[in-house]
Amino acid sequence: MTQALRRPEAGIQPKDRILVGIDTPDRGVAIGLAERLGDAVGGIKLGMEFFNAQGPDGIRAVAGGRPLFLDLKYHDIPNTVAGAVRSAVAACRPMIINIHAAGGPAMMRAAVAANRETADAEGIARPKLIAVTVLTSLDDADLEAVGQRGPSGEQALRLARLAQDAGCDGVVCSPLEIAAIRAACGPGFALVVPGIRPAGSGDDDQKRVTTPGRAVAAGADWVVIGRPLTQAADPVAAARAIAADIAETAGQGDR
């Protein structure tokens, strides 16, 4: 498996844009999926369900040197989030780590500083610190219910600009906001995109979705795909089909 997440560029292999979301509390299941998918994807995503059950030791066991997106979505007061980022970077050494943009500029700046300082102190490559904009499970009605200003696309763009101004390396956004955020924040701003469903699969609990190829064609750097891979009868074949869709639709790399 690729040993580092590479900045996407023309000619990158489509499979390297795929981060598989392994959402389980079971260490053995997670290790099995990570090992089975091997060279078929570019990296793995581990989140709160696994981390809360297995902790940093479990994260390290599953990652095993593979590119890791540590998806813990920190959202708290600046000092607490900075401390959490320091601990996670030192213990888990992710390639990507995230926070919630809704935590505000001061919280994001504290996280950016903690990420930089910890990576430098540990002598490791600095993780990309990205901010979640609007969860892909939310739509305009959900935002209104919690008192956030919509529509969802405008809120995501507003938060992306805020994150960029605070020094974040990129954002997590739904497929529907890719083009607008890419245009507003430029080519060097990383876009990590969940809400990805291959053609013919169900939306599950996602509300703002698209196919892998369309997401990359619109400007996504990495697509995060969970259940369509982890629950497939043949996860490797499913991953290869997704890479083929990216190659055909986005026109980058070799199949």
* Residues annotated catalytic, as ranges: 73
CA distance 246 to 255: 9
Report how far residue 139's alpha carbon sits from residue 153's, in angstroms, rounded to the nearest whole number. 9
Q: Which two tokens stand for residue 196?
A: 């990805």
Beta pairing, strands 68-74 & 222-225: unpaired
**DSSP helix/strand/coil, 102:** helix
What letter does residue 6 receive in the DSSP assignment? P
Is the separation of the CB atoms in 236 and 229 below 8 Å? no
Query: CB-based contacts of 212: which residues, under 8 Å, 6+ apart?
Result: 17, 18, 196, 198, 223, 225, 242, 245, 246, 249
Residue 209, number of CB atoms within 10 A of its CB: 20
Whole-number Cα distances in Å, 26 to 22, 30, 58, 60, 74: 10, 6, 9, 14, 22
Q: What is the 3-state secondary structure (H, E, C) of 140-157?
A: HHHHHHCCCCCCHHHHHH
Q: Which of 240, 242, 241, 192 is nearest to 219 (CA)?
A: 192
| Residue 4: Cβ within 10 Å count | 12
